[in-house]
Amino acid sequence: MAEADQPSTARMIDFWLGGEHHFPVDVAAARAFETAYGPCAAIFRSLRDFLGRVVRSIADAGADGFLVFGAGVPAQGNVHEVASEATVLYTDVDPVTIRLGQRLLAASDRAGYGFGDATDLGTIDPAQLHRFVPGWGRRPVGVVFLGLAAFLDDATLARTLDELYEATAPGSFLAIDFDSEELTGYPEALAMMGPAFRMRPPAAFAPLLGRWQPTADGIVPVAEWRVAGRPAAVPDAFYGALATKPAS
């Protein structure tokens, strides 16, 4: 497969998780970011562990189809590996990451990967959507929206989440996270995230969920969300929540 000439945050995360699906350009960017900020592996492990707990919770509540936005690399404990009985459609906008994901999932009849701009549901191939998220709009599903909110401004994020609420069936779930203001103290690292990068305090995030209702767990540092035992000792760089569209 042709190598990427630009780094991707998704493949940098794969590097930090100890995966094998990234390129030298991603490793160089990850190392430069760590020089400006500090070690990242434990932070992204804790974020991936949150994904595991929240996806397991959704599956245990009965959802057996997942639509994943800004999916990145479908490995290292990603959705189809956690919800091993469910069907999963991963989507992203980065063509290199999409091709990588399609290669990784080529042998799966339970998980697929396609283009999808989270801000425009119409960009998802309807055939893929209905194959991997059967009953979309009619049956409760899990929507996974992790690592993405930071790249959308408030108005776009609020509109996107509201359109997802409208499109999903009652009883559906939304797993979501956002970046805290952790990088404020690290201007060089912040600059590496680009001009569109948004950090938010927890109080500013809750209203953006609109009609989605956070569970009683609240919006908390991801390491603390429904954790058994002591949370991982990592900076509170990411907050997360599980929200529902109540069954009517």
Report how far residue 24's alpha carbon sits from residue 12's, in angstroms, rounded to the nearest whole number. 10
* CB of 173 closer than 8 Å to CB of 243: yes
Cβ proximity to ligand SAM: between 151 and 178 the closer is 151
141 versus 149: smaller Cβ distance to ligand SAM = 149
Minimum distance of ligand SAM from residue 247's CB (angstroms): 27
Cβ nearer to ligand SAM, comparing 26 with 64: 26
Nearer to ligand SAM, 139 or 181 (CB): 181
- Under the rule (CB under 6 A), what is the footprint of ligand SAM? 8-10, 13, 69-72, 92-94, 97, 116-119, 146-148, 151
> Closer to ligand SAM at the Cβ: 5 or 247?
5
Phi-psi region of 76 (alpha: psi -120 to 50; beta: other; left: phi over 0): left
CB of 4 to ligand SAM, least distance (A): 11
**Residue 81 C-beta: closest distance to ligand SAM, Å:** 13
3-state SS of the chain is CCCCCCCCHHHHHHHHCCCCCCCHHHHHHHHHHHHHCCCCHHHHHHHHHHHHHHHHHHHHCCCCEEEEECCCCCCCCCHHHHCCCCEEEEEECCHHHHHHHHHHCCCCCCEEEEECECCEHHHCCHHHHHHHCCCCCCCCCEEEECCCHHHCCHHHHHHHHHHHHHHCCCCCEEEEEEECCHHHHCHHHHHHCCCCCCCCCHHHHHHHHCCCEECCCCCEEHHHCCCCCCCCCCCCCEEEEEEECCCC
Bridge partners of residue 175, in order along the sequence: 144, 242
The C-alpha atoms of residue 236 and residue 3 are separated, in whole angstroms, by 33
- As measured in angstroms, the least distance from the Cβ of 22 to ligand SAM is 11
* Of residues 70 and 221, the one with the C-beta less far from ligand SAM: 70
Give whichever of 40 and 63 is closer to ligand SAM, judged by the CB atom.
40
Query: Cβ 63 to ligand SAM, closest distance in Å?
Result: 18
- Residue 163 Cβ, how far from ligand SAM at the closest point, in Å? 13
CB of 231 to ligand SAM, least distance (A): 19
